[in-house]
């Protein structure tokens, strides 16, 4: 376990907050872009389900998602980990709120939409 202990000692002295912030900005951009894509894909699937049931199109949630997308590049400008955390709370908060609200609001539509395919398959 000596090499492991040496590695941990090196990290304890060398992995400073400045190094952490550089890596955090890079990782933060990557996972935020993935989150935007996840929420967008989910909203598109929900729109498909609404369309089949002749419901209205989703609008405001796309706008809020667009807002979170506009805030995402600001992660690169954060100078402290505290600023990064606060901005990430806002961005993730918007995206998770959209996902949670959509999951609850579109639940029946999506289950009916996916369930239709099962019924069609079984009656063939």
Partner 1 sequence: MSVFTLAQVMALFWTLAEGLILIGLGRVLFLIGGKRKRSPVCDAGGVLGFVLAFLILFHGESLLGGILDLQRAPCLTFYRWALWNFFCTLWVVLEGVIMIVVFRIFRILRFRESPAGPDSCRIPKGSSWTIPLLVLSLFGLYAFYQIQVARMMDADRLTVQGIYHLSLFYIRICGVFWILFEWTVALIGVRTFVLLKGRHGSSPWNR
Residue numbers of the site for partner 1 (CB under 8 A)? 4-5, 8-9, 11-17, 20, 23-24, 27-28, 30-31, 34-35, 37-38, 41-42, 44-45, 47-48, 51-52, 54, 57, 82, 85-86, 89, 92-93, 96, 99-100, 103, 107, 110-111, 113-115, 117-118, 121
Residue with tokens 């079984």: 122
Buried b (16+ CB within 10 A) or exposed e, 23-35: ebbeebeeebeeb
**Tokens standing for 55?**
């419901």
What is the Cα–Cα distance from 22 to 8, expressed in whole angstroms? 20
Minimum gap (Å) between residue 83 Cβ and partner 1: 10
What is the Cα–Cα distance from 102 to 69, expressed in whole angstroms? 18
Minimum gap (Å) between residue 20 Cβ and partner 1: 4
Choice between 13 and 63, CB closer to partner 1:
13
């Amino acid at each position: 376990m000596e090499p492991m202990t040496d590695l941990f000692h090196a990290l304890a002295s060398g992995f400073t907050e400045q190094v952490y912030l550089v890596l955090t900005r890079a990782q933060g951009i990557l996972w935020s872009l993935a989150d935007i894509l996840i929420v967008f894909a989910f909203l598109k699937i929900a729109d498909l389900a609404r369309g089949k049931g002749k419901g209205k199109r989703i609008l405001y949630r796309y706008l809020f998602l667009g807002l979170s997308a506009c805030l995402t590049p600001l992660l690169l400008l954060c100078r402290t980990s505290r600023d990064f955390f606060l901005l990430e709370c806002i961005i993730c908060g918007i995206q998770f709120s959209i996902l949670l609200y959509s999951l609850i609001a579109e639940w029946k539509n999506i289950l009916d939409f996916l369930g239709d395919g099962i019924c069609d398959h079984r009656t063939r």
